[in-house]
Structure 1
Amino acid sequence: MIPELGQLAMILALCFSAALGVLPLLGAWRGQVVWMALARPLAWGQFAFLAFAFACLARSFMVDDFSVAYVAQNSNSALPWYYKFSAVWGAHEGSLLLWALILGGWTFAVSIFSGQLPRDMLARVLAVMGLIGTGFMVFLICTSNPFSRLLPQVPANGRDLNPLLQDFGLVVHPPMLYMGYVGFSVAFAFAIAALLGGRLDAAWARWSRPWTLVAWSFLGVGISLGSWWAYYELGWGGWWFWDPVENASLMPWLVGTALVHSLAVTEKRGVFKSWTVLLAIAAFSLSLMGTFLVRSGVLTSVHAFASDPTRGVFILGFLLLVVGGSLGLFALRAPVVRSHARFGLWSRETLLLGNNLLLVVAAATILLGTLYPLLLDALTGAKLSVGPPYFNLLFLPLMALLMLLLAVGVVVRWKHTPGRWLAGLLTPVLVAAVVLAVLGGWWLGDFDWPVLAVFALAMWVVVGGLRDVFDKTRHTGLARGLRGLRRSYWAMHLAHLGIAVCALGVVLSSQHNAERDLRMAPGEAVDVGGYHFVFEGSQHVNGPNWSADRAVIRVTQGGRPVAVLNPEKRLYTAQQSMMTEAGIDPGLLRDLYVALGEPLGDGAWAVRVHVKPFVRWIWLGGVLTALGGLLAAADGRYRTKVKARVRGTLGLKEAAA
């Protein structure tokens, strides 16, 4: 009965989504206040029924209802309860229901926290999100129903969740990633609503920006969690491999980064309106493309959820409809998005434009490297692999140029900055960055050019930020000046610091990684990266739904005990699937990483040993950048509640600030 109630709830949610997508939009067009007023209750009803449907599916997993096909394929009675719950989104149907639920949650949040919006603007925003929800609900109900029954032949037990997904990473990574993916639908909805209403001004950018910042932060955290999960779960010691599905999450983040900066310029100066609208469309379109890649069956990846091409055709059609419709509307409204403000070559506007160009070109190079092999295969049948060398060759120089712009963009002024003044301001920053880079190389005992270059770039960003803080506080006193700076200002520096920390982690962990692949028998030892690893043997252990051989590897440095690592080779009994569980001793400056390969007889194993310096800085940088986005979204000007309803032409927007 519970699955049938869940299916009924999905159908009712579809009805609410369809009504939300049509009635408020017609009301805004015809000036019908009653129809526009329906937007909020329809958004609430949609979210309520989606939450109920999700709860029904979760309960089916928790009570082992194997009459539900999706439960039978992705759970098992021996599966721990927390993995049963995360298994709700562990495969295609449930993950799509989670996607729809999060979309309903974003729609609900916009309806609750956007009381300052004019009635017609809010109606259009919620209607666009309702249309998006309608598309996903039709896809969910018609092609991917998670409540389909296996009657009358109900299996006695389930097939079990994919062993790769029986991990804490599944609990946190997909929800965070989807919060970012789906969150860009809010920026998209604001852009389309502004185009429909012909109101692309500073108020629109101010309304859209906090939602975009939150979505961008969630996506950044989701990407970082995915990298961390792959690092410790797959057993190969890497944190990024330019997998097509990894690329599918990075592309909207890059475009979203450009969108966040473009919204800032539109809000402050009223320029880059075309850029901002196109970036909002592109960010959400790339999120939909990621959905297509994961669920279409066009690629094989450990991240892919589905291999049914018919589902891919539906998503591809929906993607083309969204992209084509939004770009067509943009073309019709082109005169509305024209900007008239002027600015000089050395201005913050110019630097942010360069920032946007670099980010978009970086996303385009990844898009080309991801889709070209798929298109070539589809058109000619030829197989081509585009791997890390291509991406590293094109992507890394663009990111280096981006870091060069960061310190300059922070200190330049709006409209125009005197070149001589700017040079005088940045010369000490450049000297300090070079000196600190040399000191960093000396501290590491490494003067390789890649290491010196990334140290110099990171210090350029950090010292440039400190120089700007000093410049803004020197006339008011340090303590008073620091208190007077807005949260959005500190958020900018925190995000830039995160980029610098992440860049250091990437280069230092790659250049200084020490690893060995070898045969180790009980009592044998190996020295790697200044650490002494002793293999003391292995023992057989049993888990709730698996059995494993667990090794004991003792690590010392200079005779001093450092850690005891316990890598495992697990056999999941339901699917007879073998998995590697790495033994890791984490640290801020280095990770000790050991993974078991195959047994070689007489108690010996193939063992992979890594010493990975600064690898945690990669994820620390991602977290700092995301925190910067959340801090910017919490700035007081976005939380100010407007008491009076905005009337007329939005000319009162400056009073609301």
Structure 2
Amino acid sequence: MIPEFGHLALTLALAIACVQSVLPILGAGRGNVQWMQTARTTAILQAVLIAIAFGALMRSFMVSDFSVLNVVENSHSLKPMLFKMAGTWGSHEGSLLLWVFILAVFGAAVAVFGSNIPLSLKARTLSVQAWITVGFLSFLLFTSNPFLRVFPVPLDGNDLNPLLQDVGLAIHPPLLYIGYVGFSIVFSFAVAALIEGRVDPAWARWVRPWTLAAWVSLTAGITLGSWWAYYELGWGGWWFWDPVENVSFMPWLLGTALLHSAIVTEKRDTFKSWTILLAILTFSLSLLGTFIVRSGLLTSVHAFAVDPERGVYILALLGVSIGGSLTLFAARAGAMEPGGIFGTISRETGLMINNLLLATATATVLFGTLYPLFLEAIAGEKISVGPPFFNASFIPIMLPLVIVMGVGPFLPWKRADLPGVLTRLKWVAGISILAMIGVWYWTTKGPALGVLSIGAAVWLLLATMMEWSKRVKLFQEPFGASLRRARNLPRASHGMTLAHAGLAVCILGFVGSSAWKEEVVTFVEPGTDVKIAGFDVRFQGVEREMGPNYITQIGTLVVAKDGQFITTLHPERRTYPVAQSTTTESAIRQTVAGDLYASIVEPSAQSARGKWTLRIIYEPLVNFIWFGAALIVLGGLFSLSDRRLRVGVPKKRISRAVPAPAE
């Protein structure tokens, strides 16, 4: 009865969402306080009901209830408990339920913690959020019911995709979904502001923490997925410009622009229309990603292979959400007052350039992702737009952005003296040029763009540290005084420093592991020696062992350098009999300088005398990617903990911001 109880909870949640989508927004239009206050109760009740449904599905996976079709198709009795639980969101139906659950949680969070938000804006925001929930709950119940029963009940399940049976992939989807869905509440704030007809600094301050929370989670989710691809898939890469990777990256790019644009709206009461548009487009890209992975357009380890008819439903939902919000924006955006005036050289201009470059980069990725799909749909031709296109088009856009990021924090609001700012940064520029010369002298094998990127990373890192040191007057005052200044700085300032420095560190990892990567792929048998990047690697053979729900073949590689033993690596090939598939478990020797990466492929009939295929890669600086990403996430969390974001606008200001009830 537990699955039926979960289905009932979903049905009740849909009814509650329908009430929430209508009553509060009508109350805001009529000035009816009681109707507006229903938004809080319905948002919380809706989240509780969906939580019950999600718990019911997870319980079915945990106890291996094979009377539920979703459990049969995505679980197995021998699977470890962690992956049984992860199976809850390992399917189309389960992941969609997680999507809706997070959607409801964000609405409930605004209802509970948004006490400083004007009642009319809050009511409209929660109603818009409920519109989205109604769309996805109806899709879930009518086309993708996760609680369908199966009869006769099978003795065991079909197992979860072995590629997804990994700790990283158990955590990756929830983080990614919190990012995707988190932008829904920002979208709802934007549409509510358009309906209300006013966007002001107070609105931007209310929006920023929700934007930041979604952005931080999306950053962590993308990073975890990249790390999983690096060590699990066996090809030694951390990003392949796969369409499904791209649809998570595009909301991140526009979400970054939105974060910076909201700061200008809050501080200077300008960029209002642009901030609203970014809020709409960021969530629209999240919906686009949902459509792509669930429509049957793609066959990918990331995608859910479902009936394309389901994609038609999501496409309709996409059209209503995006088309309706953009139509509302077109009708109302012109009425928004322009706000503060600023000079050609100013912090506002720097942030505007930042936004334009990020928007251009997003458009480039969008074109490269959708063009092959459109061409196949229209002409029936299949083409691949891969790393060469994206690297050649995306990187030149990002290099100027990195340069602007180094200068921007030094620019004051309204008007700035650019020559004076650049004079302060002359030592940073000089060291960056020396870094490029040093890299070029060290190795001329890499591309010139790689050398320029290293210089840009050093520029951003040093400029960021210099800006922070000037804030706390490091080396200008006694260390104790500088420490007190650092403690008194707003946490958002420390967060900005960490995030910018983290991006610089990431760039070092991106460039080092791409431009100066060394790779050897060869057939080996016991006793075969392979040389790479100064290492001597000897293949000693393969042993067979049994795992909990798989059979593994473990290779042994002895690594030495200059005749001295370094380490032993054990790459694996795992075979899952139930799922009838094989996965790679790479062996990695990690150091700050770089990784020595090894994976094996079992002999095939076509290989030379049944030899194993060994892939060995040396990736310089690759761990800088994960360290830099951790700094970015930490910076976001620091900013999110800033008291100014947590408490929002003071009560006195709110009372003046509440509009008079409409007659």
Normalising by the smaller structure, the TM-score range is over 0.9
Alpha carbons 2:590, 2:596 under 8 Å: kept: yes
Shift of 1:145: 0.5
Q: 2:492 aligns with which of 488, 493, 504?
A: 488
Task: Look up the SS of the partner of 2:425 in the other structure.
Answer: helix
Tell me which residue corresponds to 2:405: 406
Shift of 1:565: 1.3
Deviates more, 1:203-212 or 1:414-423: 414-423
Shift of 1:651: 8.3
Shift of 1:560: 3.0
Alpha carbons 1:298, 1:307 under 8 Å: kept: no
1:453 and 2:452 equivalent?
yes
Tell me which residue corresponds to 2:630: 623
Alpha carbons 1:118, 1:645 under 8 Å: kept: no
Task: Look up the SS of the partner of 2:298 in the other structure.
Answer: coil
Alpha carbons 1:118, 1:646 under 8 Å: kept: no
Alpha carbons 1:220, 1:623 under 8 Å: kept: no
Tell me which residue corresponds to 1:608: 615
Cα 1:129–1:328 shift into 2, 3 Å: same
What per-residue deviation string (whole Å, max 9, x for no partner) do you get for residues 434-466 of structure 1? 124434555679786334312211121122123
1:518 and 2:522 equivalent?
yes
Alpha carbons 2:209, 2:646 under 8 Å: kept: no
Aligned residue identity for 1:542: M
> 2: CA distance between counterparts of 1:351 and 1:456?
20
What per-residue deviation string (whole Å, max 9, x for no partner) do you get for residues 267-293 of structure 1? 000010011000000000000000000
1:573 and 2:577 equivalent?
yes
Tell me which residue corresponds to 2:483: 479
Alpha carbons 2:472, 2:485 under 8 Å: kept: yes
Matches within 5 A, 1:594-605: 594-599=598-603, 604-605=611-612
What per-residue deviation string (whole Å, max 9, x for no partner) do you get for residues 251-304 of structure 1? 000000000000000000001001100000000000000000000001221110
> 2: CA distance between counterparts of 1:523 and 1:385?
39
Alpha carbons 2:202, 2:649 under 8 Å: kept: no
Aligned residue identity for 2:401: L
Shift of 1:423: 3.0
Aligned residue identity for 2:515: Q
Tell me which residue corresponds to 1:140: 140
> 1: CA distance between counterparts of 2:92 and 2:333?
39
Matches within 5 A, 1:343-492: 343-439=342-438, 449-474=448-473, 478-492=482-496
Shift of 1:533: 1.2
Shift of 1:377: 1.4
Percent identity, aligned pairs only, is 48
Task: Look up the SS of the partner of 1:236 in the other structure.
Answer: coil
Alpha carbons 2:117, 2:654 under 8 Å: kept: no
Task: Look up the SS of the partner of 2:343 in the other structure.
Answer: coil
Task: Look up the SS of the partner of 2:457 in the other structure.
Answer: helix
Matches within 5 A, 1:192-207: 192-207=191-206
Task: Look up the SS of the partner of 1:596 in the other structure.
Answer: strand
Tell me which residue corresponds to 1:65: 65
> 2: CA distance between counterparts of 1:647 and 1:165?
47
Alpha carbons 2:492, 2:638 under 8 Å: kept: yes
Shift of 1:508: 0.5
Aligned residue identity for 1:488: A
Tell me which residue corresponds to 2:245: 246
Deviates more, 1:243-252 or 1:525-534: 525-534
Deviates more, 1:154-163 or 1:248-257: 154-163
Task: Look up the SS of the partner of 1:416 in the other structure.
Answer: coil
- List gaps (5 residues or longer) in structure 1: 653-657
Alpha carbons 2:119, 2:658 under 8 Å: kept: no
Alpha carbons 1:347, 1:414 under 8 Å: kept: yes
What per-residue deviation string (whole Å, max 9, x for no partner) do you get for residues 296-355 of structure 1? 001221110133111111111111111111111112212342313211111011111011
> 1: CA distance between counterparts of 2:329 and 2:450?
45
Matches within 5 A, 1:106-125: 106-125=106-125
Cα 1:50–1:613 shift into 2, 3 Å: same
Aligned residue identity for 1:334: A
Shift of 1:620: 2.0
Shift of 1:108: 1.6
> 1: CA distance between counterparts of 2:61 and 2:120?
42
Shift of 1:422: 2.3
> 2: CA distance between counterparts of 1:346 and 1:618?
33
Cα 1:355–1:31 shift into 2, 3 Å: same
Cα 1:592–1:380 shift into 2, 3 Å: same
Alpha carbons 2:521, 2:615 under 8 Å: kept: yes
> 2: CA distance between counterparts of 1:26 and 1:611?
62
> 2: CA distance between counterparts of 1:265 and 1:77?
54
1:497 and 2:501 equivalent?
yes
What per-residue deviation string (whole Å, max 9, x for no partner) do you get for residues 112-167 of structure 1? 2111111111111111111111111011101110101112x221111111111111
Tell me which residue corresponds to 1:587: 591
TM normalised by structure 1 equals 0.96
Alpha carbons 2:571, 2:586 under 8 Å: kept: yes
> 2: CA distance between counterparts of 1:642 and 1:329?
27
Shift of 1:239: 0.9
Deviates more, 1:91-100 or 1:110-119: 110-119
1:52 and 2:59 equivalent?
no
Shift of 1:623: 2.1
Tell me which residue corresponds to 1:185: 184
Aligned residue identity for 1:613: P
Superposition RMSD on alpha carbons, in Å?
Answer: 1.9
Task: Look up the SS of the partner of 1:333 in the other structure.
Answer: helix
Tell me which residue corresponds to 1:9: 9
Task: Look up the SS of the partner of 1:433 in the other structure.
Answer: helix
Deviates more, 1:77-86 or 1:579-588: 579-588
> 2: CA distance between counterparts of 1:445 and 1:560?
28
> 1: CA distance between counterparts of 2:622 and 2:42?
47
Alpha carbons 1:441, 1:451 under 8 Å: kept: no
Aligned residue identity for 1:67: S
Shift of 1:483: 3.1
Alpha carbons 1:90, 1:170 under 8 Å: kept: no
Task: Look up the SS of the partner of 1:240 in the other structure.
Answer: coil
> 2: CA distance between counterparts of 1:644 and 1:395?
45
Deviates more, 1:114-123 or 1:476-485: 476-485
> 2: CA distance between counterparts of 1:623 and 1:140?
35
Shift of 1:557: 2.1
Tell me which residue corresponds to 1:655: none
- List gaps (5 residues or longer) in structure 2: none
Cα 1:315–1:405 shift into 2, 3 Å: same
Cα 1:645–1:139 shift into 2, 3 Å: farther
Alpha carbons 2:445, 2:516 under 8 Å: kept: no
1:636 and 2:643 equivalent?
yes
Task: Look up the SS of the partner of 2:555 in the other structure.
Answer: strand
> 2: CA distance between counterparts of 1:340 and 1:550?
65
Alpha carbons 1:520, 1:535 under 8 Å: kept: yes
Alpha carbons 1:62, 1:84 under 8 Å: kept: yes
> 2: CA distance between counterparts of 1:10 and 1:328?
31
Alpha carbons 2:241, 2:387 under 8 Å: kept: yes
Shift of 1:648: 5.0
Task: Look up the SS of the partner of 1:38 in the other structure.
Answer: helix
Matches within 5 A, 1:116-265: 116-151=116-151, 153-265=152-264
> 1: CA distance between counterparts of 2:46 and 2:79?
32
Shift of 1:209: 0.3
Alpha carbons 1:116, 1:645 under 8 Å: kept: no
Cα 1:402–1:647 shift into 2, 3 Å: closer
Aligned residue identity for 1:21: S
Tell me which residue corresponds to 2:271: 272
